[in-house]
Amino acid sequence: MLELVKIRFDDSNYSWTVIDDHGNPVDEIRDWIVHLEQINLSPNTIQAYARHVARLGTYLHSNSKEITGITVSDYDRFLEWLPYHLSGMADDSSNLAFLSPSLEPAARLGPTVNNQVHLAVKSFYRYLTGREPAFASVAVSNRHQPVDSYKPFLEHINQRRSVRKKDPYLKGDLGSVRKRVTEKRMSPEAVLELIKACSLVRDAFLVTLLYNTGMRIGEALGLRHADVDLADGVIWVIPRSDNENGARAKSKRARAIPVMPYLLEMYEDYITSTEYLAAFESGTEYVFCNVKKGRIGKALSRSYAENLKTYLIKRTGYTFTWHHFRHTHASEAIADGHGLLAVADRLGHASPQTTLDFYNTSLVVKSENYI
């Protein structure tokens, strides 16, 4: 079994490696992770990619194969095995041949997970194919096949097109697709209930911020006090690679989002509250940080955001994802007369065409109520 483990250098700097049954690092994977860090890939993406490759290595090891000896059929069987593994129906040492015939077929991998696995595997084997011989130690290089040995494998799996997240919105019956997007909008009444259900001012402000700006959850978690311009009434989304929670703005360019005065007033109420006092005294740069538990002032983690979402769903009965606030904000902005260029700029879309394809104005119902 291969296991993904964190390497912590200090409170804010860390990396990942994969170890085998004996606790030894798997050199090929560790070298690849270092490569991903050097090309400035998001820490969260690196963690996800490394976890998928570790699972692939676990599957291959259970079939008495090295991770450097993969074939296309091995990869196909791994994809069949993975849903069983993720659902707990197959342990780390088993493969499909050992599963009981009485077991119901596990659910297929969702498109997001499937694409993520596919991209991780391609990234790993592309790295092994193209890396310089001098990059590996002598002991490691002797175990590798020739540099071009993975080309047939890569050429085959490259034909399996990885679907980008936006593709479902751009193909097929656009009317029905846009209707599905519109259905992801949240009503102002629902948003208000979510805000009321928050037990901390910080969490209520997070919900309000997402609803009023259309920011991605990762962008919000990376928000720093220096990004809030009270004088000009804007909040800046700044791409950074050094956020201690691994949060990363998707776009590589900074953008300013004009906001309503009451949102800035809520921000001021939050940072001057008794709840935030200990975090303030810690000197934290982060708007959304630990205020009650853990290291006070540490940037809020993505796992906390997911736990908060689950908590709010249970408290209110409204099912949502953090991305629903982005759909809602864009739809209401278009309904209120803002042009596509302005909305695309607020959302950080590379092109207003993306905004148009996502949010068709003919399906948007005007909302008079902003929280």
Alpha-helical (H) ranges within 91-187 are 111-130, 138-141, 151-158, 167-170, 174-183
Q: Name the least confident of 28-32, 67-71, 150-154, 318-322.
A: 150-154
SS3 172: coil
Instruction: Report d(CA 335, CA 269) in Å as an integer.
Output: 30
Q: Name the least confident of 169-173, 212-216, 328-332, 367-371.
A: 367-371
SS3 69: helix
Q: Is 107 left (phi over 0), alpha (psi -120 to 50) or beta?
A: beta
Structure confidence by residue, pLDDT tens digits, 104-115: 555 566 665 777
Question: What is residue 29's predicted lDDT score, i.e. its pLDDT?
Answer: 92
Nearest 5°: the CA angle 134, 137, 140 is 115
Q: Is 110 left (phi over 0), alpha (psi -120 to 50) or beta?
A: beta
Beta bridge partners of 8: 14
Per CATH, which fold does 173-363 belong to?
hpI Integrase; Chain A (1.10.443)
* Max Cα distance, the chain (Å): 68
Q: Which residue has the higher pLDDT, 14 or 276?
A: 276
Structure confidence by residue, pLDDT tens digits, 36-73: 888 777 777 788 889 999 999 999 888 888 888 888 88
Mean pLDDT of the chain: 75
Question: What are the structural domain ranges in the chain?
Answer: 3-163, 173-363
Does position 102 have pLDDT exceeding 90, yes or no? Answer: no
Q: Whole-model pTM?
A: 0.52
Q: Name the least confident of 217-221, 228-232, 247-251.
A: 247-251
Q: What six digits make up the tokens of 185?
A: 């909008």
Going through 129-254 in order, the beta strands assigned E by DSSP cover 228-229, 234-237
Identify which of 325, 324, 330, 315 has the alpha carbon closest to the alpha carbon of residue 361: 330
Q: Which residue has the higher pLDDT, 128 or 131?
A: 128
Does position 289 have pLDDT exceeding 50, yes or no? Answer: yes
CA dihedral over 276, 284, 286, 41, signed as positive or negative = negative
Structure confidence by residue, pLDDT tens digits, 146-180: 334 566 666 666 655 444 444 343 444 555 545 55
Contact between residue 326 and residue 347 where contact means Cβ atoms under 8 Å apart? yes
Scanning the structure block, which residue is given the tokens 């707990």? 88
Question: What is residue 146's predicted lDDT score, i.e. its pLDDT?
Answer: 36
Question: What is residue 361's predicted lDDT score, i.e. its pLDDT?
Answer: 41
Instruction: Report d(CA 289, CA 276) in Å as an integer.
Output: 9
Structure confidence by residue, pLDDT tens digits, 334-357: 655 555 566 666 666 555 455 555
